[in-house]
Amino acid sequence: MSDKMYKDISDAWAAEIENKELQNLEDLRFSKMADYLSKIRYALTETLAENQLQADMYTQEALNLEFMLKDLLMMRRDKIIRAALAQRRPLGSMILSEEELYNRLLRGFEGHSDFVREALAGLSSSTLKHPTEATASQEDVMDYVIVRFLRAIDNPIIGIDEVTYGPFKKEDLITIPAANARVWLKDGTVVRVTTNGGGRD
């Protein structure tokens, strides 16, 4: 369908293979990649039964895209896990789901490090907080992201934290629950702004 989008996915996949560090991947770019796979699948379902050659081409393209996207995301996941274990932020930009994975891993590893320190300090087993208890309480922490608006939003929204946000003007910067930002990130209404050396998405 679109040689340009297929090449973008292929290039992103190849770059992730060739580089040890996490490569930049923005929310909107990944959303377009996933949408393209959906369009190929839809085109396959719309292909007439007598057009076997076209159906075979769409089938192969869908299989190639599925493989590259899955492999891309699994490679990125492994790099994010290694970064969290080393307690350092990956250099490349992450999509929102990856950012949430990284933050949860970091909290879990930090909780385990506290547990190890307490154990080595000779605290009795009855006063030690097990890492899973620390992680459980940390799961209640809501993830927030800083976003910059690329277009205005006229109506306020109620965030999942029950706070009213908006309306917003173009170029407004705001910290908002990640769950509320997700749709706007996918459609290009906002971009995330990272604060610890990652630059802007």
What contacts 152, CB < 8 A, 6 or more positions away? 167, 168, 169, 170
Q: Name the residue type at position 47.
A: T
pTM for the full predicted model: 0.72
Is 46 contained in some domain? Answer: yes
What domain range is 40 assigned to? Answer: 3-85
Is 147 contained in some domain? Answer: yes
Is 31 contained in some domain? Answer: yes
Residues facing residue 192 across a β-bridge: 147
Domain boundary among 85, 110, 132: 85
d(CA 41, CA 149): 32
pLDDT tens readout for residues 97-128: 999 999 999 988 888 888 888 888 877 555 55
Q: Is 29 left (phi over 0), alpha (psi -120 to 50) or beta?
A: alpha
What contacts 193, CB < 8 A, 6 or more positions away? 146, 147, 148, 173, 200, 201
Domain boundary among 18, 52, 85: 85
pLDDT tens readout for residues 132-178: 554 444 445 678 889 999 999 999 999 988 899 999 999 999 999 98
Is 196 contained in some domain? Answer: yes
Task: State how many domains the chain has.
Answer: 2
